Structure formats: structure tokens, C-alpha cells
Structure 1
Amino acid sequence: MFSNDKNVETIAQLIEVLKHYIGLQSEYVKLDVIEKVVRLLTVITLVVVFCIILLISFIYLSFAAVYALQPLVGSLALAFLIVSGFYLLLLVIVILLRHCLIERPLVRFLGSLLMSK
């Protein structure tokens, strides 16, 4: 049955098409990985830039709050203490709520990024 030259030629063509298909699939996987890495790096860069700008803003706002509180509390040191206490309270709240504020959104984002087709 396979002794016919036409069958051998057809099988050879099928093997060539299969090799080409596998090559295209591997190229698709590479491009998909590159796209996801670029999206991830873009998000990381945006988050870092946003955090730096937010940190600088918080520093200036903190000094403004201290100097606004000074006439009310009577002491510059006490005003600094009040603002730092506010930031410590904010830190404790973020630590207590880290699962719903940080972990879940991060897992959702990474899951949707890496599992998307």
C-alpha cells in the first residue's frame, strides 16, 4: 500500500507541512511570551513611577500639614509627632488589610495576564 511513489510524496509533503506548523507554533509561543513580559514590565514601570511621585507628594503634604498644625498644637515637634503617628496608623491599617488591598488584586492581575489567550 505504501509502495506507491504518490503515497511517499504525499507523506513527505505532510511531514514538511507538519514541520512548518510546529515552527509557526513555536514562533507564536515566543511572541506570546514576549508580549506578556512587555506588558508586565510596563505595569511595573508605571507602578514604580506612580509610587515615586506619590512619595514625593506625601513628603510635601506632610510638611504642609506639620506647619498647618503647629499653631493649633503650639509646638513644631508635637506637630511632627502627630503627622508621623498618622503615618504609623496608616501603615498598620495597610498591614492588616494587605490581603484585600495588595495580594488579591496582584494575583488577579497576574492571573489574567499570564492565563489570557
Structure 2
Amino acid sequence: MFSNDKNVETIAQLVEVLKHYIGLQSEYMKLDVIEKVVRLLTVITIMVVFCTILLISLIYLSFAAAFALQTLVGSLIWAFLIVGGGYLLLLIFFILLRHRLIERPLVRFLGSLLMSK
């Protein structure tokens, strides 16, 4: 009753289609993971390049500011101390606001990247 040739052939075709579907789904998952890793590495690379250029610029701007302050303060040492103190205040500012300025945007970015369909 249940085991005629047409039913067996239909079940065999269904099994083949399911195997093909599972294979395609696994390939899709691999490509999705690769895409997300590439996007993440691209963002990391861009941020490293941006931060490196920004740091080099800040070094030159700090020297320029210190030499400009020398004429106002009268001593090059005091001018460098003022510039260094400004950077210490900036560091304290970033430490106090690290959740709002660094952690939340990073969590939002990673969450949107990894949870996107």
C-alpha cells in the first residue's frame, strides 16, 4: 500500500532536494561569516590608519602649539608643560566618558554587524 515505486522515487527525490538545500544553506552561512569578517577587518584597518595619521598630526601640532605658547609664557619648558597638561585633561575627560564615547558606539556597531540578516 505505501511501498509502491512512485512513493519510493518521490521520497528519494525529496531526500536529494533536502541534501542540496542543506548544502546551499551551509555555503550561504560560510559566505555570510566571510562577509562579516571582511567588513570587520576593513573597519579595523581604516581605524588603525586613521588613528596613526591623527597621532602623527597631533605630535606636530603639539610642537607647534608649544613653540607658539613660548612667546606668551616666556619659557619653552612651561609651554611644553601647558600642552602636556592639556593632554592630561583630555585623557581624564575620555576616561570619565569612555562608556558614552567608546563602549556604546562599539557595541552598537558590532551588534549591528553580527546580528544583521
Q: Report the TM-score range of the alignment, normalised by the length of the smaller protein.
A: over 0.9
2:92 matched residue in structure 1: 92
- What residue number does 1:7 align with? 7
2:3 is paired with a residue whose SS is coil
Look up the match of 1:72: 72
Alignment pair present for 1:58 and 2:58: yes
Taking the aligned partners of 2:75 and 2:102, their CA distance within structure 1 comes to: 37
Write the distance in 2 (CA, Å) between the matches of 1:58 and 1:34.
36
Higher relative contact order (CA 8 A, sep 6+): 1
Tell me, which stretches of 5 or more residues in structure 1 are unaligned?
A: none
Q: CA deviation at 1:51?
A: 0.2
1:30 Cα deviation from its structure 2 partner = 0.2
Cα distance in 1 for residues equivalent to 2:74 and 2:10? 94
Give me the identity figure in percent: 85
Q: Aligned equivalents of 2:31 and 2:87: distance in 1? A: 44
Count residues in correspondence: 117
Aligned to 1:32: 32
1:2 shift after superposition: 2.3
CA distance in 2, matches of 1:82, 1:2: 90
Name the structure 2 match of 1:101: 101
3-state SS, counterpart of residue 37 of structure 2: helix
Which TM-score applies when normalising by structure 1?
0.99
TM-score (structure 2 length as normaliser): 0.99
The residue aligned with 2:115 is 115
Distance in 2 between residues matched to 1:45 and 1:2, nearest whole Å? 61
Amino acid in structure 2 at the alignment position of 1:64: A
